Structure 1
Amino acid sequence: MNRYQAVVKIVDTGGFTKAAEELGYTQSAVSQMVQSLENELGTILFTRSKKGAELTPDGEELLPYIKNIYHAYRELKEKQREMEGLESGIIRIGTFASVSCHWLPGLMKEFRESYPGVHFELYQGDYNTVEELIREGSVDFGFINPEAVPDMKTIPLREDPMLAVLPPSHPLAARDKVSLKALAREPFILLEEGRVSEPLDFFHKHGIIPNIQYRVHDDYTIMSMVEKELGVAILPELILNRLNYNIAVKEIEPCLSRTIALAFKEKKTLPIASRHFMEFISGKLKTAGPV
């Protein structure tokens, strides 16, 4: 099984040397593992260059199967540990910035007070990234907008209002609420979250075409850009907590919100620690109201 783990780690780190360091092996040992698997499969998985290791076309084709074998073995070992009770385990979570900053630290701290042997691995990205991580088994579950994964099992947690973000000196900042049409006329900074974009979908739903000037993948970068008067934006209320930016935040008319949910493939096959933490999260956050 170490051979499959070595391949996955080389892909993650981009090279044999870094993979060997993280796995605790010599580079020669990792090379031998890969060569052994290549001999068994009858093909070459990697090409090496000064830039690192890159998958060959055959390697690209075989990688999903290698990942499946590796993750299935990890789940088997987790199931074995489950029989020994919830004394240890690794909980792997896919998440996006607002959740990892404002929800997860407190939830993890409180959960570890009851189960101090449990450890967490967080993988952050947009909706597309979280979906892919769940599907390939790299994480046990993830936080996501359920509209991004209509064919996946989800547990809705809360509604997160979307708010207008403006420079304080902007004329619209003097209003109690900002209309969607007024926002669409301004230079707009769009938060790219992958397949689903709540602001863009909302504009389209109302037959409005926004004046998009920038497309950005990070909420905090957008707030910094708004602070420098490069444009206006729509961001979720959750990310706007504990603001350190000189910006104005206003309600939108008509109102807009996103649903935050937990997504997973099959709950009964998850490690016991992950199942318990999902139930813990649901009990703490699942409400009908906003965040």
Structure 2
Amino acid sequence: MEEVKCRAFLSAVDHGSLTAAAEDLGYTQSGITRIINSLEEEIGFSLFIRSKKGVVLTENGRIMLPVFRDIVRAHNHAAQLSSDIRGAVCGVLTIGSYFSVSSMLLPPILKEFRTLHPGILIHMKEGSNREMTAWLCEKSVDCCFCAKPGTANCDWIPVFQDEIVAWLPQQHPLASADFFPVRDLEHEPFIQTSPDSDTDQDRLLAALQLNPTVSFTTKDAFTTYNMVAAGLGVSFNQRLISENWVGNVAEIPFSPPQYITLGIAVPSLRDASPVTRRLVEYAKKTMRSRFQLSPGKKEAGAP
């Protein structure tokens, strides 16, 4: 089974369109169609349901998806390993990350990494814990920068801990307090970011069995931050997220203190490509030089 056919298949899956896959890989529409048709003839069944809106995987196509990913990954791995032997580091990396981590933490890391390894192309996929767990399970990412995945069978490297703090409007009575009782969240209008997505908010609320009165929901932490600044309610998040944000928001430590461990998840370190292992080691060293992983601190919601 040719790697080029598998790569065309994966591009069509990622874009949901043969036309977009053709543009992505530099083929004509008829060219990508011939490649997919040839692959379907080779394996003996249809991979896609096709319509004017694009393509959707058949059940058999869904079953074959991880197999084709493994074929392309093995091809990339071989190419990267041979380039390492020749002394030229090159390859493609697909990284999953929180929106906050990808915007706040990764840019300087990736800038220096690309300076050291300019031949590496990096694709970013941003999402929630739930989305990254799915990406790790289907092996559509090389690694993820996130909290520990809940259900994915992967290798997890804890890197540093960040404090979770309450976000209060500046006019709030406790805006100047030394701490905010975590259970007081149940007595405030609450602004929740991406509910039911296995976010860090979801995890802490579940761990402490808190049931705040949700007045607003948002998709983005920055929107939540600005809604708190406008006095529409309270919220909470990692201290790192709002490090460079400016607004009328007081960030108050919880009582008892709450922390989250962030790190790097890899589908399999044993099977990871040389480029992936280089990034993991570089990112781990860089982040630990800035932050400290303290084993004495407890995870959010821990008794």
Structure 1-normalised TM-score? Answer: 0.88
Q: Is the 8 A contact 1:147 1:196 kept in 2?
A: no
Q: Is the 8 A contact 2:195 2:202 kept in 1?
A: no
Does the C-alpha gap of structure 1 residues 117 and 64 become closer, same or farther in structure 2, counting only changes over 3 Å?
closer
RMSD of aligned Cα (Å): 2.4
Q: Is the 8 A contact 1:227 1:245 kept in 2?
A: yes
Q: Which amino acid aligns with 1:288?
A: L
Query: Aligned pair count?
Result: 290
Does the C-alpha gap of structure 1 residues 147 and 21 become closer, same or farther in structure 2, counting only changes over 3 Å?
closer
Query: Counterpart of 1:94 in 2: which secondary structure?
Result: strand
Q: Is the 8 A contact 1:112 1:118 kept in 2?
A: yes
Query: Counterpart of 1:267 in 2: which secondary structure?
Result: coil
Q: What does the per-residue CA deviation read over 1:111-159, in whole Å, with 9 as the maximum and x for residues that have no partner? A: 2333333332222111122222233332222112126357532221111
Q: Which amino acid aligns with 1:271?
A: S
Does the C-alpha gap of structure 1 residues 13 and 33 become closer, same or farther in structure 2, counting only changes over 3 Å?
same
Greater shift in the superposed pair: 150-159 or 14-23: 150-159
Match of 1:288 among 287, 293, 299: 293
2:260 paired with 1:258:
yes
Q: Give the distance between the partners of 2:117 and 2:218, measured in 1 at CA.
A: 38
Match of 1:29 among 28, 31, 45: 31
1:1-291 matches, within 5 Å, as: 1-146=3-148, 148=150, 151-192=153-194, 196-286=198-288, 287-289=292-294
Q: What does the per-residue CA deviation read over 1:214-271, in whole Å, with 9 as the maximum and x for residues that have no partner? A: 4444212222332333321111111111113332221111111100011113324322
Q: Is the 8 A contact 1:165 1:234 kept in 2?
A: yes
Structure 2-normalised TM-score? Answer: 0.85
Q: Quote the offset at 1:197 in angstroms.
A: 4.2
Q: Is the 8 A contact 1:180 1:203 kept in 2?
A: no
Query: Counterpart of 1:123 in 2: which secondary structure?
Result: strand
Q: Quote the offset at 1:24 in angstroms.
A: 0.2
Query: Counterpart of 2:122 in 1: which secondary structure?
Result: strand
Q: Is the 8 A contact 1:128 1:193 kept in 2?
A: no
Q: Which amino acid aligns with 1:170?
A: H
Structure 1 gaps of 5+ residues are: none
Does the C-alpha gap of structure 1 residues 101 and 197 become closer, same or farther in structure 2, counting only changes over 3 Å?
closer
Percent identical residues: 30
Q: Which amino acid aligns with 1:257?
A: Y
Greater shift in the superposed pair: 200-209 or 40-49: 200-209
Query: Counterpart of 2:45 in 1: which secondary structure?
Result: coil
